[in-house]
């Protein structure tokens, strides 16, 4: 019960911060065991207002690929790993990243940057699949950090 209430509070806080996301989709994402490329793209692009809140996960992924935020060939229902998700969060939040990230824009350096900032556990595995609740939490932390850095 506490876990569900916590998830709802996090979802509502995230929705208020983002200003443009469907509560139904956010709840669906939080409840997922593994975040998909479509869900992650929806979170990132609806926050950055590059898609409408009513957009489908497929439309969100297509836009993310066109922007270069997600690798070409990613499938809407395929789960992504922590390294791939880190790159998407850094790009969507507008974080500058470290030297190697600035030079390469490689997901591994986005992952390392989030570890260095303490947003990820020092023992975090870049290949681990990320749950919906963890995805929303990490995205929210990145966005708050980026906004505070401006």
What long-range pairs does 42-45 form, CB within 8 A, spacing at least 24? 43/92, 43/135, 43/136, 43/139, 44/69, 44/88, 44/89, 44/91, 44/92, 44/139, 45/69, 45/92
Q: Which pTM does this prediction carry?
A: 0.82
Q: How far apart are CA 6 and CA 112, in angstroms?
A: 28
For tokens 């969507």, the residue is 92
pLDDT of residue 27: 93
Percent of the chain with pLDDT over 90: 77
pLDDT of residue 6: 54
Per-residue pLDDT reduced to its tens digit, 97-140 = 889 999 999 999 999 999 999 999 999 999 999 999 999 999 99
Task: Decide if pLDDT at 9 tops 70.
Answer: no
At a CB cut-off of 8 Å and minimum separation 6, what does 4 contact?
Answer: none
Strands (E), 3-131: none
């Amino acid at each position: 019960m506490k876990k569900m209430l916590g998830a709802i509070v996090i979802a509502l806080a995230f929705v208020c911060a983002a200003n443009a996301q469907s509560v139904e989709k956010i709840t669906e994402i939080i409840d997922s065991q593994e975040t998909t490329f479509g869900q992650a793209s929806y979170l990132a692009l609806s926050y950055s207002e590059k898609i409408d809140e009513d957009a489908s996960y497929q439309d969100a992924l297509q836009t993310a690929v066109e922007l270069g935020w997600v690798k070409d060939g990613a499938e809407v229902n395929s789960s992504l790993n922590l390294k791939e998700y880190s790159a998407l969060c850094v790009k969507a939040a507008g974080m500058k990243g470290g030297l190697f990230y600035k030079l390469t824009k490689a997901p591994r350096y986005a992952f390392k940057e989030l570890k260095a900032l303490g947003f990820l556990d020092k023992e975090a595995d870049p290949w681990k699949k990320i749950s919906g609740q963890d995805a929303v939490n990490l995205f929210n932390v990145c966005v708050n950090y980026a906004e505070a850095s401006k």
